[in-house]
Amino acid sequence: MSEYGLRIHGHCDPRFAAVRAAFEENFRDRGELGAAVAVTVDGRTVVDLWGGWADAARTRPWERDTLVTVWSTTKGPTALCAHILADRGLIDLDAPVAAYWPEFAAAGKEKVLVRHLLSHRAGLAGLREPHSFADLCDWELTCARLAATEPWWEPGTRSGYHALTYGFLVGEVVRRVTGLLPGAFLEREVTGPLGIDFTIGLPEKEAGRVAEPVHAPAVRSGERSSSLAQLTPVAVAALTNPLVGAAQANTPAWRAAEIPAANGHGTARAVAALYGVLAGRGTYGGHRVLSPEAAERVREGQGSCLDLVLGTGLGRESEAGLGLWLSGPNGSYGPNPRAFGHDGLGGSCGLADPEAGVSLGYVMNLMGPHVADDPRKTALVSALYSAL
């Protein structure tokens, strides 16, 4: 029991007491509702904590096996699927996407490479035609529209965050090569063999374990309108076509769909394990998922720039690797500039640092307003590195 009445569950090695303290501070000082954090060092779990409430009404305590939508933190496991196939010689990251997905060559996209999909450089950050939430839940329709559309910019020249389209683009290449959607491929190759409690989408039988995503109180309407007014057309397409948030994530349709950029469901322990594969240079729990060379390729920087979608919100340049974002000089994933990871809408995070042998998973249900680097995540990452 903390000094302010909240019971934090789980375990934390004494060396990482600062992480527990930061986790408690998130509840006391940063408005946390329900959350969990896990840390592995050299494949060993040293922090596994959870606490708070799984619903807005505070009637369901957050349990050890509570699941929650992790939003774009899902992109790491989705990228892992592509890298497994590349490691086996079944995908060439420098091949045209159309070599695997012939219809994709339409509208001037015949030279778009697989690496452009992984690094948000394909020019397909959002669709130009209206695309509803129901449309987003339709795999075939969404992929067909992406195959037919033209890029917003010259592919390969800049990054523009593919907030929702990323999972369909990378995922359709996975499906064309294996016959499996990325969720099924991930289960067969990684989460099943390793016993990792993470799925893309969610079987209805597990719905009782899911935390309710809740939006934090909205910013003042004038601030919100000003923020939207600053968005470029490509950012509007990427972030609002369709607009998804807590209301959509709390529906059976969201759980039943395959949206590999955003609707992964898991525990913090599961996120730390999946990112731990990369922190372990391809190995986790004694199981080799990737060769060391393939694991290293995930963080192969594709060039720093002001992202065409996130640039205004971040206010700084950033650099994508082949599926995840580099910590870089901004320190988004700790002081090692070559550490890497991914944030999710509202605050969640997965982090991998091969040099330190460290991975971190943070999940929560109160969705903050930050584009990236939510203060709760930043506090946990800072506390982790203070203990190393």
Indicate whether 129 belongs to any domain.
Answer: no
18-32, 238-252, 289-303, 307-321: least confidently modelled range = 307-321
Tallying the residues shown for the chain, one arrives at 388
Is residue 290 domain-resident? yes
Q: Which pLDDT score is estimated for 163?
A: 97
Confidence of residue 227 (pLDDT cuts 50, 70, 90): low
Q: Higher pLDDT residue, 107 or 313?
A: 107
Residue ranges making up the domain that contains 321 = 8-79+183-387
Q: Is the pLDDT of residue 226 over 90?
A: no
pLDDT of 45 over the 70 cut: yes
- Cα–Cα dist 129/149, whole Å: 9
Calculate mean pLDDT across residues 108-116.
98
How much is the pLDDT for 315?
A: 76
What three-state secondary structure class fits 91? coil
The tens digit of pLDDT for each residue in 61-86 reads: 999 999 999 999 999 999 999 999 99
Q: Tell me if 361 is assigned to some domain.
A: yes
Asked if residue 150 belongs to a domain, the reply is: no
Evaluate whether 101 touches 176 at the Cβ level (below 8 Å): yes
233-244 per-position pLDDT tens digit? 999 999 999 999
As to burial, measured by CB atoms within 10 angstroms (0-12 exposed, 13-18 middle, 19+ buried), residue 337 is middle
Total domains in the fold of the chain = 1
Burial of 225 (0-12, 13-18, 19+ CB in 10 A): exposed
What percent of the chain lies above the pLDDT cut of 90? 91
Answer yes or no: is 84 within a domain: no
User: Burial, 381: exposed, middle or buried (Cβ in 10 Å; 0-12, 13-18, 19+)?
Assistant: buried
Tokens of 358: 């460290």
Q: Average pLDDT of the chain? A: 94
- Give the pair of three-digit tokens for residue 194: 């390793």
Res 195 pLDDT > 80: yes
Place of tokens 């971190």: 360
- Domain presence at residue 140: no
Question: Residue 43's domain is classified under what CATH number?
Answer: 3.40.710.10
For residue 209, the tally of other CB atoms under 10 A from its CB is 16
Separation CA 256–CA 207 (nearest Å): 10
**Contact yes or no for 167/175 (Cβ under 8 A):** no
Which uninterrupted H or E stretch holds 87?
helix 75-87
Alpha-carbon distances, residue 262 vs 59, 68, 249, 254, 374 (angstroms): 26, 11, 10, 10, 17
For residues 94-109, average pLDDT: 98
Q: What is the pLDDT of residues 300-310, one digit of tens each?
A: 999 999 999 99
According to the model, what pLDDT value does residue 220 have?
45
Tens of pLDDT, residues 318-355? 999 999 999 999 999 999 999 999 999 999 999 999 99
| Structure confidence at residue 218 (pLDDT) | 63
pLDDT at position 228, please?
Answer: 53
pLDDT confidence bin for 198, thresholds 50/70/90: very high
Read off the pLDDT of each residue in 98-109 and give the average, rounded to a whole number.
98
Q: Is residue 364 part of a domain?
A: yes
Return the structure tokens found at 188. Answer: 């067969």
Domain membership flag for residue 367: yes
What pLDDT is attached to residue 81? 98
**Residue 122's closest CA among 96, 159, 177?**
159
The interaxial angle of helices 268-279 and 75-87, nearest 10 deg, is 40
Out of 72, 159, 318, 359, the active site residue is: 72
CA atoms 170, 186, 263, 254: torsion sign: positive
What pLDDT score was predicted for residue 3? 45
What is the pLDDT, as a whole number, of residue 314?
A: 76
Strand partners, 206: none
* Distance of alpha carbon 68 from alpha carbon 321, whole angstroms: 26
Band (216; pLDDT cuts 50, 70, 90)? confident
Residue 72 is a catalytic residue? yes
pTM of the entire structure? 0.96
